[in-house]
């Protein structure tokens, strides 16, 4: 959430009784300090609410919030902020900022003692339905035990080992043979899927251990629904207190642990000569490529966001598109982003819009053929499942059920995604309604 302070406003002086009001902070609020490696023209300061949401503040708002301790009244807060800010701040200024900026953001408690209303986010392509798989204490213990793997000489050795193994697999041995051998045996396909799930969980441990190695504290590992697919995640919000290098290490820790997992599968093949391990290696490579795509909220998205110094790229779609329209930005009006960050964000927005907008057209053009193929394949798999159940071929039954789900779920997910993206883009391009300026709400975790 970005909260801007208006440069000019009109306000009557507060009565003496109002000046003696003592504002209270919301319990659990945590200060991260200045956002390091920021792509914004002005410094941004980060604060984490008790619900885990990270909010961006200006310097003045950060100073005001820091002085609110439940003991000082508005006059004392204003005096302390004036000393730290270097410019005169009055009690009515503090009152205005609290009432119009900090309290609506869920950072200052209500005056009547009522529960503070916390603004919720409505993110495009966000993870839904979080379920904890490994608690914060357990994650931190495991992350501490694995942090040594991020020591630079070990990282270099792992990457060199993967390069050498890939040269042998794709250039000498060949990858088609292991795939063909696994496809012929349904139970091996299930084994590869099981190893793939293990690789995804190990991927999350990579994020947690990289966060711990960089000096931040990882949170829980859980599972949620991304689009309509189950997806693992790691709470590494605390990495926002780190510099850019630490955040990038945290972002890349997942795919780095995928590389370690690939070497482990290579060792399994060297010891057993079973092709299932090579098939798992291919699964690991697909996972790395998938994670590095910056269009959706995967690792590549956060890597690009940290390189640009802009935490929520999707939150920049609206201002970027409006700035590109004729008259969208007044002549001489400065951008809130630095030049390099503005270029990177503009290129990302243009690329993402093209890719997301092209998908509905492609689907509409191929919809009849895709629908016929999906119906035919689904019908065939359902019939095969009945035969498998009758013959008690449980491994083949599980494989056919998995194949059926893999056919049906993407169709539902793409339909939902296209409708959601088109609706959001239309809202971004719609001219703003007259009235009070709304807040940009951004989830950074």
pLDDT for position 426: 65
Which pair of structure tokens corresponds to residue 246?
């630490």
Asked whether residue 58 is assigned to any structural domain, the reply reads yes
Asked whether residue 178 is assigned to any structural domain, the reply reads no
Asked whether residue 179 is assigned to any structural domain, the reply reads no
Q: Which residues of the chain have pLDDT under 50?
A: 1-12, 122, 330-332, 432-445
* Strand (E) or helix (H) holding 48: strand 45-48
Asked whether residue 180 is assigned to any structural domain, the reply reads no
pLDDT for position 166: 93
Q: Cβ contacts of residue 58 below 8 Å, gap of 6+?
A: 3, 4, 5, 42, 44, 45
* Residue 332 and residue 440 in one domain: yes
Can you tell me the distance from the alpha carbon of 322 to that of 436, in angstroms, rounded to the nearest whole number?
18
DSSP secondary structure letters along 410-444: HHHHHHHHHHHHHHHHHHHHSPPPSSSPPPB----
Q: Cα dihedral sign for 76, 77, 82, 88?
A: negative
* Residue 153 and residue 97 in one domain: no
* Residue 321 and residue 293 in one domain: no
* Residue 98 and residue 200 in one domain: no
* Residue 249 and residue 146 in one domain: yes
pLDDT for position 244: 94
Alpha-carbon dihedral 209, 214, 219, 223, rounded to 10 degrees: -50
DSSP secondary structure letters along 248-264: HHHHHHHHHHHHHHHHH
Q: Cβ contacts of residue 403 below 8 Å, gap of 6+?
A: 381
Asked whether residue 246 is assigned to any structural domain, the reply reads yes
Domain count, the chain: 3
pLDDT for position 220: 93
* Strand (E) or helix (H) holding 189: helix 186-214
* Residue 26 and residue 159 in one domain: no
Burial, 366: exposed, middle or buried (Cβ in 10 Å; 0-12, 13-18, 19+)? Answer: exposed
* Residue 27 and residue 49 in one domain: yes
Can you tell me the distance from the alpha carbon of 365 to that of 353, in angstroms, rounded to the nearest whole number?
19
pLDDT for position 114: 60
* Residue 343 and residue 289 in one domain: no
Asked whether residue 184 is assigned to any structural domain, the reply reads no
* Residue 85 and residue 70 in one domain: yes
Supply the range of the domain harboring residue 282: 123-169+189-269+277-308
Can you tell me the distance from the alpha carbon of 267 to that of 108, in angstroms, rounded to the nearest whole number?
55
Nearest to 317 by CA among 46, 58, 124, 56: 124
Could you tell me the pTM of the whole model?
0.78
Q: What strand order describes the sheet that includes 45-48?
A: 2-3, 54-57, 45-48, 30-34
Q: Cα dihedral sign for 399, 403, 405, 410?
A: positive
* Residue 201 and residue 146 in one domain: yes
Q: Helix, strand, or coil here: 45?
A: strand
* Residue 239 and residue 381 in one domain: no
Can you tell me the distance from the alpha carbon of 266 to that of 287, in angstroms, rounded to the nearest whole number?
16
CB atoms within 10 A of CB 132: 14
């Amino acid at each position: 959430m970005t909260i801007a302070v208006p440069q000019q406003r009109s306000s009557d002086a507060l009565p003496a009784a109002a000046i003696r009001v003592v504002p209270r902070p919301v319990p659990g609020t945590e200060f991260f300090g200045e956002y390091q490696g920021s792509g914004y023209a002005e410094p941004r300061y980060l604060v984490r609410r008790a619900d885990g949401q990270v909010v961006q503040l200006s310097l003045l708002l950060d100073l005001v919030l820091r002085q609110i301790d439940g003991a000082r009244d508005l006059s004392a807060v204003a005096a302390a902020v004036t000393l730290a800010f270097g410019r005169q701040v009055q009690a009515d200024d503090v009152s205005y900022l609290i009432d119009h900026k900090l309290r609506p953001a869920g950072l200052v408690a209500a005056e009547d003692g009522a529960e503070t209303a916390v603004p919720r986010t409505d993110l495009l392509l966000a993870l839904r339905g979080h379920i904890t798989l490994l608690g914060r204490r357990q994650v931190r213990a495991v992350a501490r035990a694995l942090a040594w793997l991020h020591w630079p000489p070990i990282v270099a050795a792992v990457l060199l080992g993967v390069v050498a193994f890939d040269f042998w697999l794709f250039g000498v041995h060949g990858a088609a043979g292991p795939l063909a051998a696994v496809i012929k045996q349904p139970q091996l396909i299930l084994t590869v899927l099981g190893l793939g799930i293990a690789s995804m969980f190990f991927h999350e441990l990579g994020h947690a251990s990289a966060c711990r190695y960089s000096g931040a504290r990882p949170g829980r590992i859980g599972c949620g629904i991304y689009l309509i697919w189950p997806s693992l995640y790691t709470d590494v919000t605390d990495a926002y207190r780190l510099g850019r290098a630490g955040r990038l290490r945290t972002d890349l820790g997942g795919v780095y642990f995928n590389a370690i997992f690939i070497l482990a599968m290579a060792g399994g093949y060297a010891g057993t000569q079973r092709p299932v391990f090579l098939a798992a290696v291919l699964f690991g490579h697909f996972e790395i490529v998938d994670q590095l795509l910056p269009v959706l909220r995967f690792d590549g998205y956060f890597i690009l966001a940290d390189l640009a110094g802009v935490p929520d790229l999707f939150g920049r779609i609206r201002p970027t598109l409006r700035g590109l329209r004729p008259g969208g930005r007044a002549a001489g009006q400065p951008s809130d982003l630095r030049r390099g960050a503005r270029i990177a964000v503009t290129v990302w927005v243009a690329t993402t819009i093209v890719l997301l907008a092209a998908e509905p057209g492609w689907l509409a053009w191929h919809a009849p053929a895709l629908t016929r193929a999906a119906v035919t394949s689904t019908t065939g798999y359902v019939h095969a499942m009945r035969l498998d159940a009758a013959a008690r071929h449980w491994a083949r039954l599980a494989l056919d059920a998995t194949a059926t789900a893999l056919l049906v779920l993407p169709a539902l997910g793409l339909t939902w995604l296209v409708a959601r993206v088109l609706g959001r883009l239309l809202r971004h391009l719609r001219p703003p309604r007259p009235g009070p300026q709304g807040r940009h709400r951004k989830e950074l975790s």
